[in-house]
């Protein structure tokens, strides 16, 4: 389902930005119907159901915060679906679509702000780990990015309606300067043309809000994603080092290449437009694929990683769809609500799980070395290992139960992982201590 949604949004982003693909009224209606029916209807039902399953799997109990937030997202998502279905049936009601975008983006801002606050609290209680801090900045930057987008499109930009008899219905994104400012877009109908204009005095603010918050958020998402995957891959060895490096660096390389005209201050060539939008899609897909590559079969965090993967793919592409297109553009862009929620939930659960894995390993070391002094006089290593294993597994189960009770998140270390860690890392150290004592 996420693949279908990504494919649909990719078609939309090529149609609605830089006029790479053109569309008429028939195609506009088709894109609008498909986006509402597939992404907002069936897709939302499937993906929200999967989030619920992932956050209650393996005996986990969702906390009050997550449960209340999930219900609120479900209510908002399907309320907006009802509004858009009404617009599909009565296209004269298109004037309500900006309110749909405002509500969904506003709620997404609140979600990311709430998760940022939640993650910051976890950071303070969890020995101030870097991985948690990165997720705080990531969540906060998405909230800032969405806020800046709303300000640029709905506070700075204004509209002018003029009579235009005899025109053919179409939409045009122009970004053309004139003495009064910049003409961003025109909605042209047989009797009326609506122009979207940024006043000259606000052009620097418009350019800043359009570019830098999104760029900062993208870099922070890349940093948090790469750091998490590096930790997980280093411990699990799921992906070869060279492949892993490609997975985490290729999205940024594509982004820089596609953005090179803007970064160098030169006029974009026609070939750079599809490259830029293609790079936008590739960033989202490759980030998602990187998460999925880590979500090995049977892993306790597989569902958390999958939720985050779907969230980051849809979020990156949906945000690139302009919310100045009044039908399918707003419908596609407004999926930032669902995707922000999925990305935040997946990252939060994964962060807590990975962070507790590190704490569990420290506890295994402390427990094993604390017991080793009494075991040094044992008959042999076999007896020592058996007793240590029983002690460590009992402690691990208690640790897991405590984490489930406090956060509703299950650590990614399964019993087999604990045994392997004990066998390959801890026991050699204990045996080394035993030999040193005997010497």
Enumerate the H helices of 197-264 as residue ranges. Answer: 203-236, 241-264
> Do the beta carbons of residue 260 and residue 296 sit within 8 Å?
no
Domain positions in the chain:
2-355, 356-438
Query: For residue 98, which of 277, 342, 359, 331 has the smallest C-alpha distance?
Result: 331
- Report d(CA 248, CA 225) in Å as an integer: 8
| Token code pair at residue 65 | 């915060």
CA distance linking residue 187 with residue 171, whole number of Å: 5
Write the DSSP assignment of 48-82 as a string of letters. HHHHHHHTTGGG----HHHHHHHHHHHHHHHHHHH
Q: Alpha-carbon distance 196 to 87, whole Å? A: 22
CB 78, CB 49: distance < 8 Å = no
Q: State residue 374's pLDDT score.
A: 44
Question: Which pLDDT does position 396 carry in this prediction?
Answer: 65
Bridge-based pairing of strands 181-188 and 158-163 is unpaired
Query: Residue 115: which of 76, 149, 69, 146 has the closest Cα?
Result: 69
Per-residue pLDDT of the chain (439 residues; tens, 9 = 90+): 999 999 999 988 888 765 567 777 888 899 999 999 999 999 999 999 999 888 876 555 566 778 888 899 999 999 999 999 999 999 888 889 989 999 999 999 998 898 888 778 777 776 567 777 887 888 899 999 999 999 888 888 888 888 877 677 777 777 788 888 888 888 877 778 888 899 998 988 988 888 789 888 888 888 877 777 777 677 666 667 777 787 778 777 777 776 666 666 566 555 566 666 777 787 788 778 777 876 765 466 788 889 988 998 999 899 988 888 889 999 999 999 999 999 888 877 876 776 666 666 666 666 555 544 444 344 445 555 566 666 666 666 666 666 666 666 665 556 666 666 666 655 666 556 555 555 5
Looking at the chain, how many residues does it have?
A: 439
Helix (H) or strand (E) holding 135: helix 130-150
Q: How many CB atoms lie within 10 A of CB 191?
A: 9
Whole-angstrom distance, CA of residue 281 vs CA of residue 276:
9
Paired residues of 195 in beta bridges: 160, 186
Distances (CA, A) of 103 to 72, 96, 365: 13, 11, 50
pLDDT value of position 34: 95
Per-residue tokens: 407: 């956060």
Beta bridge partners of 159: 196
Q: What is the pLDDT of residue 349?
A: 80
Rounded to whole angstroms, what are the CA distances from 154 to 146, 147, 159? 12, 11, 10
The residue written with tokens 């080394």 in the block is 432
Strands of the 158-163 sheet, one edge to the other: 158-163, 192-199, 181-188, 170-178
**Secondary structure class of 279 (helix, strand, coil):** helix
| Residue 259: both structure tokens together | 């953005």
Write down the pLDDT at residue 376. Answer: 39
Please give the C-alpha separations between residue 305 and each of 50, 129, 151, 232, 300, in angstroms, as whole numbers: 12, 20, 32, 11, 10
The pLDDT of residue 126 is 61
Secondary structure element (H or E) that encloses residue 150, with its range: helix 130-150
Task: Return the pLDDT at 375.
Answer: 40
Q: Residue 380 has what pLDDT? A: 47
Mode of pairing for the β-strands spanning 158-163 and 170-178: unpaired
In 3-state terms the chain splits into helix, strand, coil percentages (rounded to 5) of: 75, 5, 15
Separation of alpha carbons 392 and 380, rounded Å: 18
């Amino acid at each position: 389902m996420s693949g279908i949604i990504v494919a649909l949004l990719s078609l939309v982003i090529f149609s609605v930005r830089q006029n790479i693909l053109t569309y008429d009224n028939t195609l506009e209606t088709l894109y609008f119907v498909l986006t509402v029916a597939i992404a907002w209807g069936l897709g939302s039902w499937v993906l929200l159901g999967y989030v619920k399953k992932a956050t209650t799997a393996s005996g986990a109990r969702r906390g009050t915060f997550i449960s209340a937030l999930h219900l609120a997202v479900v209510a908002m998502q399907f309320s907006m679906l009802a509004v858009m279905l009404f617009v599909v049936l009565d296209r004269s009601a298109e004037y309500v679509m900006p309110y749909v975008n405002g509500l969904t983006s506003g709620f997404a801002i609140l979600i990311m702000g709430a998760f940022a606050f939640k993650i910051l609290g976890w950071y303070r209680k969890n020995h101030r780990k870097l991985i948690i801090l990165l997720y705080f900045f990531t969540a906060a930057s998405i909230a800032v990015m969405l806020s800046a987008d709303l300000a640029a499109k709905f506070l700075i930009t204004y509209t002018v309606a003029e009579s235009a008899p005899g025109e053919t219905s179409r939409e045009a994104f122009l970004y053309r300067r004139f003495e009064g400012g910049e003409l961003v877009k025109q909605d042209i109908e047989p009797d009326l043309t609506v122009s979207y204009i940024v006043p000259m005095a606000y052009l620097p603010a418009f350019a800043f809000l359009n570019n830098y918050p999104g760029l900062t958020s993208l870099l922070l998402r890349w940093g948090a994603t790469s750091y998490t995957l590096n930790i997980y891959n280093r411990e699990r060895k799921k992906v070869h080092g060279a492949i892993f490096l490609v997975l985490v660096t290729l999205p940024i390389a594509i982004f820089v290449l596609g953005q090179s005209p803007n970064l160098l201050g030169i006029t974009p060539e026609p070939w750079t437009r599809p490259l830029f939008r293609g790079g936008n899609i590739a960033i989202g897909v490759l980030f998602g694929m990187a998460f999925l590559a880590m979500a090995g079969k049977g892993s306790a965090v597989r569902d958390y990683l999958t939720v985050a993967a779907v969230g980051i793919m849809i979020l990156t592409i949906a945000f690139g769809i302009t919310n100045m297109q009044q039908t399918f553009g707003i419908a596609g862009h407004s999926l930032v609500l669902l995707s922000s929620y999925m990305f935040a939930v997946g990252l939060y659960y994964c962060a807590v799980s990975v962070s507790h894995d590190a704490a569990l390993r420290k506890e295994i070391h402390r427990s094993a070395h604390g017991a080793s002094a009494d075991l040094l006089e044992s008959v042999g290593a076999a007896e020592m290992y058996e007793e240590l294993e029983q002690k460590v597994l009992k402690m691990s189960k208690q640790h897991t139960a405590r984490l489930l009770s406090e956060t509703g998140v299950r650590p990614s270390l399964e019993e087999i992982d604990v045994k392997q860690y004990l066998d390959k890392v801890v026991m050699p150290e204990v045996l080394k201590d035993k030999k040193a004592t005997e010497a």
